[in-house]
Structure 1
C-alpha cells in the first residue's frame, strides 16, 4: 500500500470510531451528563447533521486550495472538536461539540476520494478509494469495540482522547506522506454547483439516501434483534459487532474490485438487490444463532461493498465538480443513517417484533436499486443520442 493511501486509511479509522462508537457509549454518557438515553441519542443525530452541513459547505469553501492542505485543515478540525467532546461539561456543550465534529467528515472523504483516484494506477481507481474506506471497517472491527470497552470500564472521555490521538497521527501522516497535488486551476464555484442541476446527481443522491438507509434499518436495531430474538447475551454483542465489522472489511475490498471490473452503477444495482435479499433472510433465520452470525457477516460485507462503487459513481458523474460530489455522497449516506433508523423504528413502535425493521430495510434497498437502474437507463439513452447526433 502507498503511504499516501495509508494516511487516508488512518483518517477513515479515526472518523469511523468517532461516528460509530457513540452507539456503545450512550449509557455511559447519559449517566455522566445526567440525561436520559434517548436524549443522549440526539448526540448521534447531531453528528449526522454536522456531516450533512459540512460536506458540501467545506468543500465549496476550501476547494481552490491544494488537496493536501485541505485534508490537513479538515483533520485539524476533527482533532479540535473531538477534544472538546472529551471535556464536555454538560449536554448542550456535548451536542454542539458533536455537531462541529461531524463537519469535516464528509469533506474529508470527498477530497480523499478524489486524491485516492488521482494517485491510483489506471483501472484501479475504485480499489484505491476502497483502501481509504477500509479505515471505517477497521474502526468497526477494532476501534469501536475497544472504545466501548474503555468507556464502560474506565471513562467514555478516554475514548475521545484516543480518537484525538488517532487524528493527530493522521495529521502527521498526511503532512509527511501525502503528495503535493496541484490545486484546481481557474475554479468556478458557480459552475461546480451546477452539479446539483444534473438529474443524474439526484438519482445518485436518492439511491444513496434511501438504498443505504436499508442497512441502518437493520444495523440500528441489531443489538435487540440478537438478544431478544436470537437469544445472545448482552456481553456477546460487542464481539458480534466486530464480526459485522470484519464482514464490512472484506466487502469493502470486493466492492472496489467489482466497480473496476464492471461499472460503479451496475455494481450498485447488484449489491443493493443482494442487500434486500440478505435482509429478508435475516427475518427468517434470526432465531438460529449460527445462521444469525453467518448473516451478520454477509450483510456487513454486502453493505460496505457499496462504499467504493457509490463514491466512484459520484466522481464519474460530476466531471469538474468531483470533490463536491464525493462529499455529497457522504452527506447522503448520513441521511440514510437517520432515515433508516427512523423508518425501521416505525414497525417497532406499532408493536411488531425486532425482526420487523429488516422488511423496511429490504424495501429501501430495492428502491435504491431502482434509482441506480434508472441512472443506467438514462446514461444509455444519452449515449445513444450522442451516437445519433454524431452520425
Structure 2
C-alpha cells in the first residue's frame, strides 16, 4: 500500500511540474512583456507555440520510443524537459526564450503520456479511474500552487527565479522516479504501422477532437486570465495570486469530479457540461462589468475544464487494450496531444480577439467551440450506443 501511495504521489508530481512549466507563462505574461519590450499578445503566443509543438511532436516521439524500455524513456524525457527550463532561465532575449519553450514542449507531451501509461499499468483495475484523475489533478495543483507561486516569485524576485523553481522540482521528480517506478515496463512490441493502426478506429478519431475543442473553449480566455483579472475585473495584483489559487482549487475539484464521472455516467454526462460552458461563456461580456460576479463566473467555467479528462482517457485505453495492445502509449498520449491542439487553437483565437476587439470578446469566442464540443460528444455517444466499431462505423 505504501508503494502504491508513493507511486501515485510521484505520478502526480510529474504532472505537476509539467503543468507548472506549461502554465507559468500565463502568470508572468506582463513581466515577460516588460522585460523583452514586446506586447502582451505577443507573449501570449508563447502559449500557442508551446501547445503546437507539444501536440505535433508528441505522437512522433511516442511512436519512436514505444519499442524501448518505458522507464528509461521517461527518465530521458524528463532530463530534456529540465534542460529546456534551464534554457528558459538563462534566455537573454525573447527569441531564445521562445526556442527554450520549443525544447520543453517537445518532451512535455511524451513525459505525461508515459506517466499516464505507468498510472494505468501499476494501478489495480478498480482504481484506474481514481489514479488517472489524480494524475490529471497534478495539472490543477500546478494552477493552485505552481502558477500563483510562480507569479509571486516573479513579482518579488524576477521571472527567472520562477523558472529556477521549476528546474529544482524537475530534478527532485527524477530522483523520485528512480526510487519508485518499475524499471522493466515495456508495451507489446510492434512496428510503427502497427502502433498507428489505433488511429484508424473511427471512435478514436472522433474522440480525439473532444479534448481539443474542450480546451479551445477555455483557452480563448484562460491565456489572458491575468489581464482579465487585473484590467477587466479591476482586482489588485495581491488579489491576483489569491484568485489564481481559487481557480486552481476549482480545477482540482473538477478533476476529482472527473474521476467520479468516469465511474458513473462517463461521456454520457458531458453534453450537460458543454451546454453549461456555452451559457457561462456567453454571459462573460455582461458579468465582466462586475468584479466578484465575474470572478465567480470564471471559477465555474474553470471547474468544468477538466471534467472530460478521466472519461476520455479511459475511453481511449479501453479501446486500445481490447483491440490495439501494441498502441497503449499512443492511446495514453491522445488526450494530452489534442488538448494542446485545443490550447493552441484557443489561445490563438484569444490573441486575435484581444488584438482586434477587446477582452469582452473572449467569452463569445470560446462559446463557439463549446457548441462544437457539444455536437462531437453527442455524435460519439450515439456511435457508442449503437455499438459501432472501427470496422462498422461509417462517418
Using the size of structure 1 for normalisation, the TM-score is 0.90
Distance 1:31 1:278, change over 3 A: closer
- Given candidates 364, 369, 373, the residue that maps to 2:374 is 369
Contact 2:309 2:335 in 1 (8 A): no
Give secondary structure in 2 for the equivalent of 1:64: coil
Which residue pairs with 2:70 in the alignment? 67
Following the alignment from structure 2 to structure 1, what is the Cα–Cα distance between the partners of residues 206 and 37?
A: 43
Q: Provide the residue aligned with 2:387 in structure 1.
A: 382
1:334 and 2:336 aligned: no
Q: Quick check: 1:210 aligned with 2:213? A: yes
Q: 2:251 aligns with which of 248, 251, 256?
A: 248
Matched with 2:349 is: 343
Match of 2:195 in 1: 192
Worse overlay, 144-153 or 6-15: 144-153
**Aligned pairs, how many?**
385
Is 1:163 the counterpart of 2:172 in the alignment?
no
The answer for the alignment partner of 1:223 in structure 2 is: 226
| CA displacement, residues 250-269 of structure 1 (integer Å, 9 cap, x when unaligned) | 11011011112233x22433
Given candidates 316, 320, 332, the residue that maps to 1:314 is 316
Pick from 133, 137, 151 the counterpart of residue 136 of structure 2.
133
Report if the CA contact (8 A) 1:247-1:297 is conserved. Answer: yes
* Cα-to-partner distance string for 1:126-171 (whole Å, 9 max, x where unaligned): 2211111121111111111111121222121111111011111111
The 1-side partners of 2:287 and 2:184 are apart by 50
**1:218–1:279 CA contact under 8 A, matched in 2:** no
Matched residues in 1 for 2:314 and 2:119: separation? 11
3-state DSSP class of the match of 2:187? coil
The Cα shift of 1:109 comes to 1.8
SS class of match (1:65): coil
Aligned to 1:298: 300
Comparing 29-38 and 142-151, the one that deviates more: 29-38
Identify the match of residue 275 of structure 1 among 260, 265, 277. Answer: 277
Structure 2 counterpart of 1:354, from 359, 364, 378: 359
- Preserved contact between residue 248 and residue 304 of structure 1 (Cα < 8 Å): yes
Q: Distance in 2 between matches of 1:72 and 1:8?
A: 13
Cα drift, residue 349 of structure 1? 4.7
Q: 2:149 aligns with which of 132, 146, 149?
A: 146
CA distance in 2, matches of 1:275, 1:205: 19
Distance 1:257 1:181, change over 3 A: farther
Distance 1:60 1:291 in 2: 46
Conserved? CA contact 1:314–1:326, under 8 Å? yes
Q: Which moved more, 1:369-378 or 1:98-107?
A: 369-378
Shift of 1:69: 1.9
- Post-superposition shift, 1:197? 2.1
- In 2, the alpha carbon distance for the partners of 1:194 and 1:151 equals 46
Match of 1:180, SS? coil
Matches of 1:306 and 1:341, distance apart in 2: 19
Runs of at least 5 residues in structure 2 that lack an aligned partner in the other structure: none
1:275/1:299 contact within 8 Å kept:
yes
Within a 5 Å distance, the mapping from 1:5-24 to structure 2 comes to 5-24=8-27
**Alpha-carbon displacement from aligned partner over 1:288-338 (angstroms, at most 9, x marks no partner):** 333323222222211122222232222233332221132232121111112
SS of the residue 1:212 aligns to: helix
Q: Deviations over 1:96-141 (max 9, x none)?
A: 1110101121112222222212222323312211111121111111
Considering only aligned residues, what root-mean-square deviation do their CA atoms show, in Å? 2.5
Q: Does 1:114 align with 2:120?
A: no
